Structure 1
């Protein structure tokens, strides 16, 4: 049945031919797609909550790694790269929505099916599963390493032997008590309220990073807990660099791609949007990416200007080292942990949907299957969070492989395949540039990361 998907849909009038581009670009949806969207959403998710949901899908653990990236690319180099990735991410969403209107499909996986048949669907679904598992495990890795430290800062004395300071124990309890129940919710729109809370936590984090810039002196000193010694006497360490390249710069574009990936959540959010249209969803996307860019840039800039070359690959570690028991830092650390925690259930939705479409697309919905797949995903991400040693590895490998595919390669490739516009048209040329950019960035970054591992 899947092999004949395209022909069946074409016979039923679901496919809007690119020979009629004005119809494909029209703001009104095709009647059957509109019916599908109305069937899936009831009563619908508002524009504001959709923005919060998408921002929650965009923002997560990536915000903690961008200051490290700025330290290894320089302020101007970082700004140019981050803006480029943000604009390309927004443009690739534009291509996805255009193809969604043309083909009347409501999932990333079905776009792969439409473009390249069953192999295309399997490749897209597999990429989404790997990407989202990597993202969720990176979030849980932060919880495992930072939550016990956050609790310990509120305590006095030696409590190291107690269970509530063991990262693995806390991780399992949190996943069972919070992540798993939220991930079982049937509709992604229900998480809009937790997503808005997560957004304000991220805003608070960026504000504290700005304020604490003036609380940590440079050259960096450790003058707490009966210690007082200077880490570095070099005043050059306190001068920001506009451009800087090192072997760690290989993690720059993969981490940025990882940080802006929201494409697996675009179509599920689109399906539940009130009064869905291409223009309305593009406005949701542009708003979410613009706000995310602003928060990313501010937190990265002031995080870098606080620690300079001593910035950690995970920004919170620096504040724990140089401002232990600071009430504001302890509070923001808890807020970030909750924000990261609330992102995990949201990413469960596209991951579980990809598993369903890969293995159970011809079966009706089953709560038992829904429960078991969610449980299996939870077990996998907990195991990865326990055994992965460094979050930078997740950012680098996942960002260079699956993130570049979902943001750059697949949207460009699918548009070139499905659109019948002239190749010299601006949109098709843009899709070609997006495809080439994704291939070059992904392969080059992954090669440099592997080379860095071998040298170490």
Structure 2
């Protein structure tokens, strides 16, 4: 918190406003993204007023913690409506696109300040979740008895236990009406972009290449965790899997109760990583130029937490949360905004508008707009035709 307070009081010229001319841009870029050592006898150029102390490994933990969240619970549902191979291909595409969008952000990066040190514990909780999902797959197999899942109450009294799965065959490629939720769920699971630059500020020996390596390792690790979680969750329940996978297991199973607690702890520990940049952005937007104030600092945090909790309580299904946020906020943060920042901030003297990097960034932004329009269109169509089924929180 003290470090964040210090950053609130820093010189206004360090707030990420790049000069318009190319020479100034190169000087700013060289200071923020050093690519070579200082000249003999000269003072090293720093991109901020204090040097980061966080190691490469801890930065990977922090960014992985920012990526990982409740989206992991819906990945098995996404696999059930795309098939194993198609899901893994889509997940890999989203991971690669997320890495490219972080590259755009680092290229035109400004300044932001904070970070906690709870990420290692949060990742441990999610690893416990993954190991438990794998264990339950081998324990339950395919034939799931009457008392094994939370769905047991839906079976008519007196009928023999037939399990939940109409088929125990894994589908490699699947297309159905619920597929419109799958890519938004994946995109939601990879959102971490508001936290990239604050994590950069704490990185020891910061450079663009070093931070990009942090991002690549973090995204790669989360891709493996997501892929394993979705695969073993899907192979446990197949087409019966729900958007919130933990609802499929017995509510009386001690292991599942521990897993629920671990997931709750992991998501709770992610809140500071996400809350700090949002709060800082609101303070910059609503109270520019004003001195730091603890009452205002705390009030903004409380208001944000209350609003989030009210929305979670009011929205009927977690699948709708994944779908709506994954179709709106996720493409904005992953595709649209990084490309706009790159096109707007990098001056034409350095990168002409028709240069290949800017054409790539433009196509990247257009892809995000198309993704948002198509995803929302399919979801609205599902709601209008009544094809989407309700699933609990």
Is TM > 0.5 for Structure 1 vs Structure 2? Answer: yes
**Residue 335 in structure 1 maps to residue 262 in structure 2:** yes
Q: 2: CA distance between counterparts of 1:372 and 1:294? A: 38
The equivalent position to 1:222 in structure 2, one of 134, 146, 149, is 146
Q: Secondary structure at the match of 1:16?
A: helix
Distance of 2:279 and 2:106 partners within structure 1: 22
**Pairing partner for 1:94 from 103, 106, 121:** 103
Q: Which residue of 1 aligns with 2:234?
A: 304
- Contact between 2:73 and 2:245, CA under 8 Å: does it hold in 1? yes
Segments ≥4 residues shifted beyond 3 Å: 5-14, 21-26, 28-36, 223-228, 231-234, 422-426
Going by fraction, where is helix more abundant, 1 or 2?
Answer: 1
Give the whole-Å Cα distance in 2 for the aligned partners of 1:13 and 1:406.
29
Q: Secondary structure at the match of 1:65?
A: helix
1:60-209 pair list within 5 angstroms = 60-100=69-109, 105-107=110-112, 188-189=114-115, 191-192=116-117, 194-209=118-133
CA deviation digits over 1:299-340, x for unaligned, max 9?
A: 0010000000000110100113xxx43332222222111111
* Match among 213, 216, 221 for residue 291 of structure 1: 221
Report the equivalent of 1:277. 207
Measured in 2, the distance between the counterparts of 1:106 and 1:29 equals 21
Please give the root-mean-square deviation of Cα atoms over the aligned residues, in Å: 3.0
Corresponding residue for residue 9 of structure 2:
none
CA apart distance, 1:361: 2.3
Does the 8 Å contact 1:75/1:240 carry over to 2? yes
Structure-2 change in CA distance of 1:8 and 1:259 (3 Å): closer
Gaps of 5+ in 2: 1-11, 387-393
Do 1:14 and 1:33's aligned partners in 2 also have CA atoms closer than 8 Å?
no
Q: Cα gap change, 1:405/1:370 in structure 2, threshold over 3 Å: closer, same or farther?
A: same
Whether contact under 8 Å (2:32, 2:47) holds in the other structure is no
Q: Which has the higher contact order (CA 8 A, sep 6+)?
A: 1
Conservation of the 8 A alpha-carbon contact between 2:137 and 2:232: yes
| Secondary structure, counterpart of 2:25 in structure 1 | coil
Q: Does 1:381 align with 2:308?
A: yes
- Note closer, same or farther for the CA distance 1:22–1:49 as it changes in structure 2 (3 Å cut): closer
- How far apart are the structure 1 equivalents of 2:185 and 2:147? 33
1:434 deviates by 1.3
Q: Which residue of structure 1 lines up, in the alignment, with residue 319 of structure 2?
A: 392
Check conservation: 1:223, 1:229, Cα contact below 8 A: no
Distance apart, 1:290 and its partner CA: 0.7
> What is the match of residue 180 of structure 1?
none
| Residue 211 of structure 1: aligned partner | 135
Name the counterpart of 1:16.
26
Select which of 262, 276, 292 maps to 1:365: 292
The 8 Å contact of residues 18 and 25 in structure 2, kept in 1 or not, is answered as: no
Aligned residue pairs, count: 359
Q: Which position in structure 1 is the counterpart of 2:4?
A: none
CA contact (8 A) 1:95 1:415 kept: yes
Question: Alignment partner of 2:172: what SS?
Answer: coil
Q: Is the 8 A contact 2:145 2:161 kept in 1?
A: yes
Q: List gaps (5 residues or longer) in structure 1.
A: 108-186
